[in-house]
A and B are shown apart, each in its own frame.
Chain A
Amino acid sequence: MSTAVKVEHLSKEYRLGVIGNGSLWKDIQSWTAKLQGKPDPWTKINEESRIGKRERFWALKDINFEVQQGERLGIIGRNGAGKSTLLKILSQITAPTEGVVKMRGHVASLLEVGTGFHPEFTGRENIYLNGAILGMSKADIDRNFDEIVAFSEIEPEFIDTPVKRYSSGMYVRLAFAVAAHLNSEILIADEVLAVGDVKFQEKCLGKMKEVSEKQGRTVLFVSHNIGAVRQLCQTGALLDHGKLLMLDNVDKVADEYAKLIGQ
């Protein structure tokens, strides 16, 4: 089995506080004042100069791990541990400050259900649009179309109605159905199951497990629902304050997480 995802020394830094003055004109004034060696005209009294002042915050610090192909990794941690930042970097939404991520295969990330759905478009049109946004070709969607509709449990007579008329449950089911049928080697999912009823959540977990086992896809899954993580994943990664505390069998990691919250 080969490595699907390899993360080396990954760090992400954010700057805190107000960056710049928020308007180009004020920034130009501050900048020219700095060039002339004068004090920044927009500095508040008793405050250090704005430019050059950099309060930093490491959302992630020196993360290293590997995920094998076909493995299902659950990433858990408290709020603000860096889980979402990690997934954002893996999904290429934002660039890391340091480190390298290498991945083998096409990556599909599902950070939010229904991204790019256009309310004026019908269910059918949105399946194509959403699929394309997630990186599927038209031919892929054509092939999976019936299966997607069946999975979403949306009655066929609604599929040509604009999605703005859908109930929120229908909306979510359709969106997840598209994502579940992606032909990607790596699937990244963040808290996507927080929506939908319990029965549909079960179905989604089952589907993710199935594609991973049958087609050897790699799944990276973030959730606060430890039950769901235990059910889906084999390995777990525990993040806290931007550091990787533990990478082990999912049950051990979940126990460690329980201790962490218990403190």
Chain B
Amino acid sequence: MTSDKETWDVVITPKRMWLGLNLKELRQYKDLITLMIRREFVSVYKQTIFGPLWFVFQPLMSTFLYMFVFGNIAQMGTDEIPQALFYFSGTMLWTFFATTLQKCSDTFINNAGLFGKVYFPRLTMPIAYVTNAFFTLLIQFAVMLVFYVYYLANGVQFSLSWWILTTPIYILQLALLGTGFGIMISALTTKYHDLRNLVSFGLSLLMYATPVVYPISSIPVRWKVLFQFNPVAPVIEMFRYSFFGKGSCNLKMWAYSLIVSVVVFLLGLMTFNHNEQTFVDVV
């Protein structure tokens, strides 16, 4: 039985790892990930009147609301981008980030029953949440293109820039930021349930510190320094610059935001890994 020592498939020890992504294990559970994505996606519209229309309903309603409140009543500028496109693109990207963050931050609390009874890689859930948000974003992006073509047909000129090619990076960045912050907070909410309230409140505050309903160019110079710390701000600005050719293209801020995204994601992964093995005893 000497050869026994090396051939164990599962070894359970009290040690907790900090940074490690067990990709091999996640691959084994790829069917589960697919099913979880489907479960998340379908549960949005099962037994509803509007069905899958819910995926575009929310950003459309927000867009109309913003056009009315910020565009007409408050008379805020949109960098000469058509209002509908300006608000829709902002809402769409912001919702992607915010939904990912919020869903991920509830990973342990919402799945406590499941996690307490069966083992599978806990990262399955955040992966399903972010992918699900991504599919929602794709649908909304298609709607944005419809608006886009509509304005083109009505003679609005857009100066597309080559930066449009980096769109996948913008999306990836938002995904990393949302997931990173989300799983970082999820580790804390198992112990402090009141953080959940803070998350939804904090997100709605942060939205107003992000150029969702106004362009960066309309901010007074003395407040601009605040925006330099917000890693989401340059992503939305860059996206609009790429597609509509208006607004700011500040590469320094974008580079900063890229670095922050990666760092936040890695930190999130560390806290998540550290927490997943014992959260059952704490939650």
Return chain A residues, CB-CB under 8 Å to B32: 132-133, 135
**Contact yes or no, A95 B4, CB < 8 A:** no
**Contact yes or no, A95 B12, CB < 8 A:** yes
Binds B, one of A38-46, A100-108, A238-246: A100-108
Return chain B residues, CB-CB under 8 Å to A138: 31, 34
Return chain B residues, CB-CB under 8 Å to A23: 192, 194
**Contact yes or no, B118 A109, CB < 8 A:** yes
Whether, in the assembled complex, B154 has its beta carbon less than 8 Å from a beta carbon of chain A, the answer is no
Binds B, one of A73-81, A112-120, A204-212, A217-225: A112-120
Q: With A102-B8, A133-B32, A134-B118 given, is the CB distance from A94 to B280 under 8 Å?
A: yes
Interface positions of A from 57 to 116, Cβ below 8 Å from B = 88-107, 109, 111-112, 115-116
Interface positions of A from 103 to 162, Cβ below 8 Å from B = 103-107, 109, 111-112, 115-116, 118, 120-121, 128-129, 132-138
**Contact yes or no, A101 B119, CB < 8 A:** no
Range for the number of chain A residues in contact with chain B? 35 or more
Other-chain residue from B4, B47, B115 in contact with A93 (beta carbon distance below 8 A): B115
CA distance A99 to B13 in the complex (A): 6
Whether, in the assembled complex, B277 has its beta carbon less than 8 Å from a beta carbon of chain A, the answer is yes
Q: With A115-B118, A133-B32 given, is the CB distance from A100 to B12 under 8 Å?
A: yes
**Contact yes or no, B120 A98, CB < 8 A:** no
**Contact bitstring B224-265, A, C-beta under 8 A = 1, else 0:** 000000000000000000000000000000000000000000
CA distance A190 to B106 in the complex (A): 28
Chain B's closest residue to A2 (CB) is B4
**Contact yes or no, A103 B116, CB < 8 A:** no
Q: With A3-B1, A23-B192, A112-B117 given, is the CB distance from A88 to B280 under 8 Å?
A: yes
CA distance A93 to B191 in the complex (A): 17
**Contact yes or no, B8 A91, CB < 8 A:** no
CA distance A84 to B254 in the complex (A): 51
**Contact yes or no, A95 B114, CB < 8 A:** no
Nearest chain B CB to A218 CB, angstrom units: 12
Q: With A95-B14, A118-B43 given, is the CB distance from A24 to B278 under 8 Å?
A: no
Nearest chain A CB to B21 CB, angstrom units: 17
**Contact yes or no, B11 A101, CB < 8 A:** yes
Return chain A residues, CB-CB under 8 Å to B9: 103-106
Nearest chain B CB to A14 CB, angstrom units: 7
Whether, in the assembled complex, A169 has its beta carbon less than 8 Å from a beta carbon of chain B, the answer is no
Q: With A92-B10, A95-B12 given, is the CB distance from A3 to B4 under 8 Å?
A: yes
Return chain B residues, CB-CB under 8 Å to A88: 280
CA distance A160 to B93 in the complex (A): 37
**Contact yes or no, B114 A89, CB < 8 A:** no
23 contacts between A and B (CB under 8 A): A2-B4, A22-B192, A90-B12, A91-B118, A92-B12, A93-B119, A93-B280, A95-B12, A95-B16, A100-B11, A102-B10, A102-B11, A104-B7, A111-B118, A115-B113, A115-B118, A116-B118, A129-B35, A132-B31, A134-B118, A135-B32, A136-B31, A137-B28
Task: Please list the residues of chain B having a beta carbon within 8 angstroms of any beta carbon in chain A.
Answer: 1, 4, 7-14, 16, 28-29, 31-32, 34-35, 39, 42-43, 46-47, 113-120, 188, 191-192, 194-195, 277-278, 280-282
